[in-house]
Every structure is written in C-alpha cells, then in structure tokens.
Structure 1
Amino acid sequence: MIQCMDLSKSYSKKCVIDKSNFEIESNKISFLMGANGTGKTTFIKCLMKMENYKGKITFDCKNINQVREKCLVIWDDCPFYTNLSGITNLMLFGENKKSKKQIIEIATKRLEYALLKNNVKTYSYGQKKKLALALVEILQPKYLFMDEISNGLDFDMMKELKDDIKRWAETMTIFLTGHQFSFYNELVDSLFAFKDEQIVLLEENFSSCGETLEEIYDKRMH
C-alpha cells in the first residue's frame, strides 16, 4: 500500500496538490483523473522524489529510497539512450535481472528482432512505448506507474496491453494516468481525481459504480 499524508506541492505561488490524504491499495489498478495541467505527472514525480513536496509518502511503511529498485515508471515520453540499440537499452535498464537471451525473448514479443538491433533514435513513438513495456516484464517491479501509456499504440497493441496490465496487477501495485478513457474503463479498480487541487478517492470499486470514466468526468469534474 502507498500512503500519502498531508501531501502538498507548489511551484512558486501556484498550488498543484493541496494537503491530500489517500491510500493506493496493493495489487490493485488505480487511475488518476484530471484535466491537462492539473498535476498528474507532477504527482508521479513526487512519488519518486523527483520533486520536493510537503507531507509524507510511504510504500508499505518504507520511504522511496528503501524501495526505489522495486519501482518502475513508464513515462509518456520514454527516456531511452537514443544512440544505443533497443537491446542495449533493455540490458542497461534491466539491472541484470535477466540474461541477454531472456531479454531478447521478452522484447521480440513486442518488437521485431531486426528493429531491436537498431538505435532507438530510429524508433517511432509507439515503438519506444513497446520497448518500455518490455522493461516491465524484465524488471517485474512491485510498484508500477504508467503515464499516458496508451498513447501511440495501435488497436491490437492496446488490446494486448489491457491483458498485460490485468496480469501484472496480480503481483504489482499499478497506478495509471491518462485521457483515453475508453482504454482504461475496463481496467480500473480504484478511481482518484483532482478536485480543487486535492487528490481524492472518487470510487473505491469503480467497476461496480455503474458509470464510465467519461460519464464521471463530465458529471463530477466540471
């Protein structure tokens, strides 16, 4: 479980997150809803201590420095070494969790081997996303954060990814943000949202609330 206690984040005089208290349950898929610019990506950066903040964040009663190696963030713009090959990137980021043979077996389920031998600078936006998804299988993190993960993926890949996320949630605590609600509707367990600069739990059991993310956004977020 991830606990956020009196979490606040400001840039100069602009308040982004204001004294928020909530819990992200273990082995569940949680989703954070909010308009562009509300602070969804900033919140993930706070979780990773990439931004300074006020308040306290714990991961099963531990701080980020004690669990950092168990965390993985898949950003909207995946920060790979563009002058290195896809395989080399996976080996570097893979932290020796898998052998080269195992890494290739995992990666070729998403990208062709010929492409994996090319430098990442030749990859499309969607291909870099697929490379990042291979890292999830390689690292098997305990805490997985995914920012706008469906962007750049085709229909077949999004369908596969839904199945992957559901499977990963059996052993991982997953936290998602995004705007493509149709992709997330059948995935979400717990729904969070930005309301007046606070992050609040809207639905603890989203699947039984009888509304779609689109409907909730239209009714409750305006």
Structure 2
Amino acid sequence: MSGPQRGIYDDAKRYLDAQEANFSYIQDDTSGELRNALYDPQCFKGDRMQQLKTKLDALKQAVTSELDKTRKQANAMLDQMQQRMQTMDEYKALPEARTDELNAKFQELRSHFAQQRLIAVINALLRRFEEQGYQTLLRRMVEMAKPKPTHTDTSIGGKTSPGIKETKAEYVSARKLSIPFDKPLLRDSADVDRYVEALRQALLKEIGEGKQVQV
C-alpha cells in the first residue's frame, strides 16, 4: 500500500493509538470499527480507505466536541469556585498583589485544561483541585488576611510567659460528608425534605466541631 491510501492508513492508526483513552466518552463504537478495518488485509481494496477516512473524520469531530464540552464544564466549575472565593471578606481585605496570587492558581489550571488532550486527565485535574487544591487556597487566603501579631510573649514578674498558640481552622469538603439516608433516589417532596434535613444535621455537626465546610 502506498500513496494517499497509505497516508489515510497511517493517520488512522496514529490517531487511534493517541486518542484511545478518549473513546470511552464517545457514545458509538466508531473507534472499534476503524480498528477492525485497519486489521483487515483487504482494507486497501476498492473505496474502503475512503470509507475509513469518512469514519475517521467523524470520530475526530466527536472526540473534539466531547473534549471541548469537558473543558467548558471544567472551566465553569473553576469560575464558580473562584467567584465564591472572591465574595469572602478575607479576600476583599487583601491587597491586589495577594489577590493576584490567589487568582493565578485558577488561571494556571485553565491553561492546563486548554493544553490537555485527554478527557480523563482534565476531569482528574479538576477533581484534585476541588478536593485538595481549593481547600489549600482558601486556607492560604485566610492566613494571609489575618492581622500579624506584634509580639508573642509577655513578661510577668521577670519571667517570660508564652503567648497563646492559635489553632488553625480545619476544613472539610461537603462532598466528603457522610449523609445518613436510607434511599438511593429522591422520588418526591417528602424524600427531598428528609434528605435536606439529614444534610443540614451533617453540616451542623461539622461546624459544631469547629470545622469549616467547603461547598
């Protein structure tokens, strides 16, 4: 096989190898059909290569569309988290240099999304930020906004008395809370009321223990 047909064959093989991890997010089995066609010794006969190219182009479009959708959803989640952070009193109390530092983390992640070609990796990056990075960022923001003490020790009767050690706030993600509920699905308003109350109690429990809940 040579010429344009060989070019189509090589392009299809390279694409299938590079994008294999994305195919599970596509609803049809075009990728499987293409692999079967490439393994067929008769694939170069007649107009089979043109048919293969048509399917390959359709698959590329489907993957690109799903990738764009994933990026859009991930960026929307980032926007939501960033906006919530920016409404906090601690954020508003910071100078511009500090808020720029906080916002840079979001822009850095958006750049990663834009460069990434695997849907699963984008989802993993977002999930890790939601579960770990965002809490770290909020903790950093609160620490930066705290007034710096002028001294930590006081002298009493010629002796040095240590200052009070301030305890750091503990953060917990609302997603990780265990909500005691006896149904896997909410089917009516009564179910909703019961679930909301169970969620409320779980949140109050964490707050009562001195924790701050990330939503």
TM-score tier (shorter): under 0.3
Bigger fraction of residues in strand: 1
Bigger fraction of residues in helix: 2
Whose radius of gyration is greater, 1 or 2? 2
- Give me the TM-score of the superposition, normalised by structure 1: 0.20
